[in-house]
Structure formats: C-alpha cells, structure tokens
Structure 1
Amino acid sequence: MSVTSLNTSRRLLGNSIRNISANVGKGGQYYGVFCSVRCVSTSAVMDNRVLTLDNMNPYVKKMEYAVRGPLVIRATALEKELQAGAQKPFKEVTKANIGDAHAMGQKPITFLRQVVSVCLFPQLFADSNIPEDAKARARLVLDGCKGGSLGSYSDSAGIEIIRHHVADYITRRDGGIKSSWEDIVLCAGASEGIKGLLQVMTNHTDGQRIGVMVPIPQYPLYSATLAEFDLEQVSYYLDESANWALDVEELERSIAEAKTRCSPRALVVINPGNPTGQVLSRPNIEAIIKFAQRHHLFLIADEVYQHNVYADGCAFHSFKKVMSEMGAPYANMELASYMSISKGFMGECGLRGGYAELVNVDPAVKAMFLKMISAKLCPTTLGQAVVECVVNPPVAGDPSYESFEAEKGEVLRSLAQRAKLVAETFNTVPGMSCNVVQGAMYAFPQISMPPKALEAAAAAGQKPDVFYAFQLLENTGICVVPGSGFGQRPGTHHFRTTILPQPDQLATMLQKFRVFHEEFLKKYS
C-alpha cells in the first residue's frame, strides 16, 4: 500500500470513528455491545490483517455488558466537556450505573488498608502508628507468601492460610456447619470465579447445548459469560409484584420450555439480588433447593451482598446452611457459592478479591478446575490480603476492634438509610414505582413510558428505556443502566441505579430524578 493510500485510509478510518462516537453520544444503534462501539472494517486500512472482525471469535462479538455500555462512554465524555468549560444543564456527572462504592465517596476501612499497606511495605512494621493487630495480620499473610513477599505468586487456589480462615469464617457464619479449606478457591473478585465455573460446564461434544438458568432481571455478567462460552441462557422471571420473589412455578415453566432446546445443567440464584435488591426468605430458599434437586441442577449461589441486608424482617440465609440443615438428599447437592471484597461494607472493587466454596463437587472435576485456573497462575495477592481481613477481622480486645466495628457499622447504617430513601422517593414520583430495597446496593424502579415517548424512541432507533436513560443523562448528568440491559418482562420499562452516592449527593440526585421524570411525562403526554 502506498503512503498516499495509507494516509487516505487513515483519514477515512478517523472519520468513521468520529461518526460512531457521535452516534454513541446520541444513544444510536450501538447500545449494549460489549465494546460499545462497533469496530470499523480493518480492510479500509490494510488488506492483510490476520485477525479481522469477520474471523474473530463470534461469541465475543455476541457478548453484551450493559453496566459499561455507551451510556457510560457518553457520561465520561460529558465529564470531559464540563472540565473544558462546556455549558450543560448540570454541573457534574453522577455515575449511578455501577456498584463502585469508593468511586462514589465511601471511605476505605482503616484496618483493611493498614494490613495491605504493611504487606506491601514491610518497613511499616516499625511504625508505631500501625496497631499491633494489623501488623500481626500482615505478618500472617506474608508468612504464607513465598519469600515472605506479596510480590510472589501464590498457589493457584490462593494462599493456604487464608483459605483456612475463609473456611473458618463460613463455619461461624453458618452456625457451626463445617466448611473445609480444601473446598475454598480464592479468586480475583467473584466474577472471575463464576466465569471459571461456567467455563468448566461448557461442553459442545454431545450436540446439545448446555443450559444455565438465570434470573430476569439478572446481573449482565451471566448473560455476557453465557454468550462468550456459547451456553444457552435459560431465563426465569422474578415476581415484581411480590418484591422480586423467586416463584418455583416460574422455574418449572422456564425449565420445561428450555428442555425443548437445550440440556439445563445449572441454576443461578443471586441473593441478595442484583439489580433488584430483594433478600430471599428461608422458605423460598428451601423451595428453590428442592426444585434444583428434583431437576438434577448444579446450584450457583451468588452471595456477594451477604453483608448488605437492610429491611426489617429480612435476614441472609446461605444456600450452604439451608441445604445442610435440610438433610439428605439436599445436603449432598453440588453447590458453588461466592463472596467478594467489592461489596459488603468493604467496597474494595479495584483490589479484586473474593472466594468460591465448592461443595460436593466431584473430586475429579475439582482437579480439572484447579488445573484450568493454574494457567492464570494466581489471583492478585493484594485482593487475597483483603479477603483475610474480612474473614479474620479484629475481635474484642484487639487494638483495632472498636474502630473497625464503628467504621463497618457506619457504612452499613448509611446504606440502609439510603436504600430506604431511594425507594420511598421513587414511589412518590408520578409514573414511577419501586419495590423495597431489602439488600444489595441497587434499586430497579419501573417507569411509565407514554405512547409518544415510545414513538420518539422508535424514531431514534432506541429501546424505550435506553431512550429514557440517554434523555436523563443529557438533561441531568445522571448515568443509570436501562432495564433492558438486565432483562425485564416484555412491555415493562425499568432502570437500575445504585444507592451508593453519599447522602447529600443522593438527595440532589433524587430531586433531579423527580423533576426530570415529571417533565418527561409532560413532554410526551
């Protein structure tokens, strides 16, 4: 290719990208695509690329991940425009699209950061400002590391002493029901552990696709991963009229329909719920377990929000505990349950830590799973150190105990207050309804979309809730995720927002919501 031709191609490519960016800013046709922007054909630049959009993995192209889609790209662009002095109807962008607590102003828990700091910089062992229990915890972690350094690889399943302490934590949590450290696998956040399990389930050799049952609405990790691994998504609807309860009759309907096209192998349950914020009752969990046993399904319990329970009368019950207390045959079922340092009171999203407990899994399968994750060497040791602090926190009498409990309690009390405020506010806005946020970090309100708004969305080439979300962003600076990114019953329209903005910012955000929605209804009535 000549220099002139190459420059021409580069200019064409630049123009194409600018055009796509403009469409993304308007919502365009690109909503929900994982990369957010459709790739421009590389043939315009060079004709001999080995990897092209046409020959790359088709399942990666199929993936969608709504919480980081074009709305977030546009929100980031708006932030830069504001920084450059552009005049907007708002002074700041509020990214309520993702459960990133520290990004929304939550302060780190001191004890966690002290332990990690000492692990990273052992000279701090000599610092009298660091409490002795934080130093002891750091020493325990470093003693478990090869060479006594957090910079060394750990075992693929994680540092052994931390796995022991995770098992001890689960045993305490579940009232003495024994957990084995050999069933614990540390991971770089729960997402990585969940993806690893689904990868092991992938089997295309018998001609029938494997099905995985997921709740609708669901966290897009599941739909994205199932698409990536070419697994069949078997959707079951949560009951919005019953505060997003899980109805076993709906599970039966879903699996009966799925068996006509795939082989259902696993059931995913998110408790407390994301994006819906419900907390399952014990009787509901027992019914779910009986359903899974009846249909010979592997249970995947996404329990990363187990510390985040707010509503009166609600309590977290682990699937492991309920299964065990139900006795045989339920106690013998296969289960994988997950926890994460990104949620709870910790909010340490960027440090990437979590664990999986693999219960009653075939030892030969577990060996294959461990072989598979060994190719990734090990989860981040920083995240593992935080897991250690969460499962082995200060106890009464330790120097850090009172401050740790005070900081933890304040985070959870504030989240409970914000959860209540969000639901109560949305329920006073005409044309909007919201279930009680019993737990987790999100609300999933339903919104009214007048016929003229539906027509305007169609004219813009957007789904109605996407149209609404872009209008909200451009007029208020609030970034949420349209309900279609999580799934919803046909004919209904929702969005997911976090409850994470700090109280003053949250109050401002909710007032902006009220004004915007009332004006939206007026405009399109």
Structure 2
Amino acid sequence: MALRAGKQGQATMNGRKEKVLTLGSMNPCVRKVEYAVRGPIVQRALELEEELRQGVKKPFTEVIRANVGDAQAMGQKPITFLRQVLALCVYPDLLGSPNFPEDAKKRAERILQACGGCHLGSYTFSGGIQIIREDVARYIESRDGGIPSDPDNIFLSTGASNAIVTVLKLLVAGEGRTRTGVLIPIPQYPLYSAALAELDAVQVDYYLDEERAWELDVAELQRALRQARARCCPRALCVINPGNPTGQVLTRECIEAVIRFAFEEHLFLLADEVYQDNVYAEGSQFHSFKKVLSEMGPPYAAQQELASFHSISKGYMGECGFRGGYVEVMNLDLAVRQQMMKLMSVQLCAPVPGQAVLDLVVSPPAPSDPSFAQFQAERQAVLSELAAKAKLTEQVFNEAPGIRCNPVQGAMYSFPSVHLPPRAVQRAQELGLAPDMFFCMRLLEETGICVVPGSGFGQREGTYHFRMTILPSMEKLRPLLERLSQFHAKFTREYS
C-alpha cells in the first residue's frame, strides 16, 4: 500500500525536501549555549594562524593563544614519571626495557592488573577502576589531615567538567517558578553558564568583589538568593576555589561562612577545586570544602550536601588531553547516588588513560622510590615558575595606565580591568560587539595575542575585562604583557 507524504515530507519549490534539523527546529536550549573560552575570538585566531602559514604578511610572526589554560600547548613539559608509567601501560612490551625505573614498572603493572584483560583499551567499571578510587580516597584523607574518605563516594570522570555536568543534571528539575536555580560566581568559568543553558536551568549570578581582590561576600549571596526566589527555586551554590578567571584563594573563614549560608538556605554545594595545587600568594592557602565542612562538626558535617571536583588538567600536571578527574560526594542521599551511577553508566566509563594518570597524580612516587627526586624537582620547578609569572603579570599590568590587575593568588589566569574610552564603546556598539570583545579582537588582529573578553565570563555593568593565562614561558610572557599594555595605550589614544 502506498504511503502519502505528509506536509513536512513534501518537496519544496526547487524540488528539495526541507531539512529535518534546522536552527528553528533544533533544541532551543542548545542555541542559548555560549562558551567564550573557545568562542569567535579563538576561531579568528585559528584563521590568522592559517594565514601566517600561507605567507600572508601580518604585524606579528605568531599567534599567542593566551586564552585557555592548556599548559603543555604553551610549552610546559610533561612530568616524566607520569609519562613513563603511561607509556608502559599503553605498550606493556616496554616493561622489559632497561630504560624505565623499577617503580614506574611496578605502578604500570598494578594499573594494568586492575584493567579488564590487563589492557588499558578495555572498559572499566562506570565509576572508575576500584584501586584508583581507593587511591583517590587515600589522597583526600592525606590532604585533609586524616578526615576519612569513602571510595564509594568517589566517581572518576572525563575531566572535572563531565562530573560537574552530571551533578547539575541530578539537580535540575521543575518548570516556571519551580525551575532549579544555581548560584554561580560572576565572573565565572563559562562551563557553568553553558551547562545551565543546555539543561534549561536558571543561572543566578552573585558578584565577586573586585575592589577587595575578588572576595566572596555572603551578603552578596543573600542578595542574589533573595532576588532569585521570585523567579525560580534556587537549589545549589557553586564556588570556584582557587578562582577561575579571577585567581583569588578563599580564606578558611570565608569557606565556613559559605557552608553556614548553604546549610541555612538549604542549598546543595558544588566546590570546583581543580586549581588546588596552584596557590602562589604569600599568606594564601588552599582549604578544601570537605575538610572545613568536616571540621565544623554537627549539624553541618552530618547534613550539608557537597560535591567537590578535581582534575589532572591543571595543577603542576597540565595533562588536559587525557581528560581525567573525579568528584567526591558527601552526605548524598543513597538512592540519588545510585541514580548518579546510572548516569555515569550511560557514558560507559571515563577515558582509561586519564584514570591511569589520575592515579599517579594522587599517589606520586614515595621518598624511597627511584623516581622521587626527579618527580619532586620537576613538580617544584613548574609551580615556582607559575608563582613568578603570577607576580610578574600583576606587576606589569599595574604599571600600565588604564589597566588594573588584582593579585593572582592562585589558579592560572589574570582578569584585569581595562578602561575603554567612550568612543571605543560607541564604535563597538555600532559593530554589534561587546566593548571588551571589540578591544580583544583589535588586540588579536594587530599583535597576534589571543585573550578572552570579560563579557564571556560575566562582569558588573559598565566594567570591562579580559582573561589571560599566565602559562606562556617567561621568555614570552614579559614581552607579551608589555606588548598588550602598549596596545592598550595606543587603542586609548586612538579613541580618546
């Protein structure tokens, strides 16, 4: 029997069927997603690189991508021990080679024995390899001064990002005024705004205090929560510590105040702690939310729900490409934990090489191991250089009229404010661009320096910023900072 084509299956005037998937018919939540770190300015940077390869003359000889925290792309060398063990895991025939230290071989064998068929190419348990979850638990206990950690509360993930989105999926529910609201810091890491847009949740902005080195103020949390309750149901509070893009490190007193606020307001806490190894400023110290919460005792320690995240992409490791990370949950309802495991099962498992690298990060060589001295020296060299680059960035920017940079206490970025003349703001508006996007695009076209406009992270109205990584080598960083400062002076003169 012949089937008649419905209206949507009919041919158009030129004889072609309409596409099933168009901008008009696609998921509207996806259309709302924006991710500034890899947005239009980065696309233009790629085009400029291609033009340079083709011999097109530019006022610069290379594009410097200071837009993303990708340490190895900026020249940082991988940590030898991590790569030795990974090489042995990927190609076990090397286990007989005399070119690898014995402790690296033992670690590779231990990881391989925990894999299906003793191969890194096999699927693992959806929550991650059990011995690695146990190693993560021991790492957390050591980091937090002996506070117990249960491997059953630890899930290995595709970087921290995947775990963050998984927890947000569990939290998002409701429609209209019952829709889930999530408090996120402004400026924020665009993963949060993108994930909330995709999940059709409500983004609730709370502003960090730029005048006080990007401090988190509980009074501002209260303001944001009070206003949000008129339009949604706030259920979660996200904190990034050390801060991205702002580089601040929260004090213990501040963390305690945030925990009390979340407890009193019945909010689930998400602690993004992927930069916990990256603390540089004198007097600053990383305190995990898990440790502070546990030490606060009842009722907080026994009841406040918390998910904390870590990753191999940052720190001293910079192993972004292997996509390894974990989430530890605390006081999560057991039935919800089962649902979380179900969500992770749909994705099968986190990349197994990433799980292997994570294991080495949480349980590095011991002092008695042959690889210990080299590992410690390489780790300290990376962190010392990052500390020097953080200080240099702040110093050079603050010497430039019209640029103001708070201390880079931690993480891998500076987020300076820039003064833009009214005529530059007007010109940007004529072009349909955010003023700081206009500034950053001109910077890229004239100097080859790629940074991300502050509008992609959020900022107070009438202020303009950009985010720049501190990852370029010292040889490149100082001239980059000076060139950027000189461009700002030229740009200001042009539009004054």
> TM-score, normalised on structure 2?
0.96
1:369-405: CA deviation from partner (whole Å, max 9, x where unpaired):
1011101100000000000000110010100000000
Matched, 1:414 2:385: yes
> For this pair of structures, how many residues does the alignment match?
484
Q: How do 1:92-491 residues align onto structure 2 when only pairs under 5 Å count?
A: 92-204=62-174, 208-332=178-302, 333-491=304-462
Partners of 2:398 and 2:405 within 8 A in 1: yes
Change (3 A) 1:47 1:207: farther
Q: How big is the alpha-carbon RMSD for the aligned residues of Structure 1 and Structure 2?
A: 1.3
**SS of 1:355 mapped into structure 2:** strand
Following TM superposition, by how much is the alpha carbon of 1:46 offset from its aligned partner in structure 2, in angstroms?
4.4
Following TM superposition, by how much is the alpha carbon of 1:43 offset from its aligned partner in structure 2, in angstroms?
11
Change (3 A) 1:123 1:45: farther
Unaligned runs of 5+ in 1: 1-41
Partners of 2:176 and 2:231 within 8 A in 1: no
Matched, 1:504 2:475: yes
1: CA distance between counterparts of 2:177 and 2:493?
Answer: 54
Task: Give the AA of the match of 1:387.
Answer: L
2: CA distance between counterparts of 1:194 and 1:106?
Answer: 27
Following TM superposition, by how much is the alpha carbon of 1:48 offset from its aligned partner in structure 2, in angstroms?
3.0
1: CA distance between counterparts of 2:16 and 2:452?
Answer: 37
**SS of 1:420 mapped into structure 2:** helix
2: CA distance between counterparts of 1:49 and 1:72?
Answer: 30
The answer for the alignment partner of 1:37 in structure 2 is: none
Change (3 A) 1:261 1:498: same
> TM-score, normalised on structure 1?
0.91
2: CA distance between counterparts of 1:159 and 1:173?
Answer: 21
**SS of 2:166 mapped into structure 1:** helix
Change (3 A) 1:44 1:188: farther
1:314-347: CA deviation from partner (whole Å, max 9, x where unpaired):
0000000000101111102110000000000000
Ranges of 4+ aligned residues in structure 1 off by more than 6 Å = 42-45
Task: Give the AA of the match of 2:104.
Answer: A
Partners of 2:242 and 2:250 within 8 A in 1: yes
Following TM superposition, by how much is the alpha carbon of 1:185 offset from its aligned partner in structure 2, in angstroms?
0.2
2: CA distance between counterparts of 1:147 and 1:43?
Answer: 58
The answer for the alignment partner of 2:60 in structure 1 is: 90
Unaligned runs of 5+ in 2: 1-11
The answer for the alignment partner of 2:489 in structure 1 is: 518
Following TM superposition, by how much is the alpha carbon of 1:203 offset from its aligned partner in structure 2, in angstroms?
1.3
Partners of 2:176 and 2:232 within 8 A in 1: no
1: CA distance between counterparts of 2:125 and 2:240?
Answer: 29
**SS of 2:178 mapped into structure 1:** coil
Task: Give the AA of the match of 2:273.
Answer: E
